[in-house]
Amino acid sequence: MKKFLLLTLLLSVFNSLVFGQTSLNNDVARGHYKQLNNFSGKASGDHAIDTLHFIYDAALAEKRLSLKPHYLTAITEKDFILPDMPANSAAKTKAELNYLMALQQQRTELDVKTSLFMANVYFNPRAKPEDANYKVYRDNLFFIGRSIGTWFNAQNLPMTAKLMATVWQDASYFIWTFKYKYARIRPYILEPALNNLEETNWPAYPSGHAANSYINAYIYSALAPDFSDVFLKDAYDMAHSREILGVHYPSDSESSRLLAQQFVSMLFKNKEFLKDFESVKKEWAEKAKEDFTTPSSVEKTTVETEACAKKCDG
């Protein structure tokens, strides 16, 4: 715990120097995430329930971890410090399950529809231009912050799309590393009364959807600090959507936020990333604005509302 608090202090100092008063420096636990820290995460006794963990699939894990980082090649999991994962029998886990049950009781049709849509918002680092879903994946890189302008898209900001795609490659490696390290079972396994609306075949801790969303939010905030509140709200909503669906504990979301903070701080100490980031800043200086002209063509679009189930990784 002391080691984690020390890291938090060091991160705050570094982030102040790099980001000033932007979201990465000011984003802290709040609401139910903060309240849950009052509960103990330690096992409450010698319970068989604490032996339950996600069943490891070596072949699948090897495949997911075969795509190595591009920027953070010298970084390992030991360079990160995440909060200890709560034991299955812990008071904190029980409080989390009770919270998820309360969410289940209160979730509306709109909550469900929105959360299922957001379950499909992810980027596949292995996607190639010739793939049918390549454009969709690239568009998803701009889901966080989608309301800040019509210029905010992969077509208008190709260098930004390339940077974020590479960042997701790095992030995916570390997210999968921690998922398999902790092998946390999903909340609906511990609480049968929890009606999960998505099926998953990977561990829970940390949340991939949440981590990647916060990573996007922090990087975009460094590019457009005036919109940091928008970026953070979008990331928060993504994390919370995973709880609404009953597939993630709140501590999965919170650990993802902290992982994202450390990850982005490491990126901003990487020379190659900084070089690419400077190019993106120039792209934004030129293109991050509305032109208020009549579009050359208008296409009708449709959206899917089904969960990604076992199709996506997050």
pLDDT in tens, 25-78: 678 989 999 999 999 999 998 789 999 999 999 999 999 999 999 999 999 999
If one counts every other C-beta atom within 10 angstroms of the C-beta of residue 300, the result is 4
200 against 107, higher pLDDT = 107
Q: Is residue 13 scored above 50 in pLDDT?
A: no
C-alpha dist (Å) from residue 27 to 24, 37, 71, 216, 255 = 6, 16, 24, 14, 13
Q: Is residue 234 scored above 50 in pLDDT?
A: yes
Average pLDDT over residues 72-92: 97
CA dist 14 and 196 (Å) reads: 39
Q: Is residue 244 scored above 60 in pLDDT?
A: yes
Question: For position 308, what pLDDT does the model report?
Answer: 57
pLDDT in tens, 288-301: 999 999 988 777 66
Average pLDDT over residues 192-198: 95
Find out whether 177 and 195 touch, Cβ atoms under 8 Å. Answer: no
Q: Is residue 129 scored above 90 in pLDDT?
A: yes
Q: What is the mean pLDDT of the chain?
A: 91
Please calculate the CA angle 122-15-269 and round it to the nearest 5 degrees.
75
pLDDT in tens, 217-226: 999 999 999 9
Question: For position 310, what pLDDT does the model report?
Answer: 44
Q: What are the extents of the domains in the chain?
A: 2-42+57-287
CATH number of the 2-42+57-287 domain:
1.20.144.10
C-alpha dist (Å) from residue 142 to 166, 220, 239, 247 = 14, 10, 16, 24
Question: For position 14, what pLDDT does the model report?
Answer: 47
Residue 292, Ramachandran bin (φ over 0: left; ψ between -120 and 50: alpha; else beta): left
Question: For position 11, what pLDDT does the model report?
Answer: 54
Question: For position 17, what pLDDT does the model report?
Answer: 45
Q: Is residue 309 scored above 80 in pLDDT?
A: no
Question: For position 296, what pLDDT does the model report?
Answer: 82
Global confidence as pTM = 0.90
CA dist 144 and 95 (Å) reads: 29
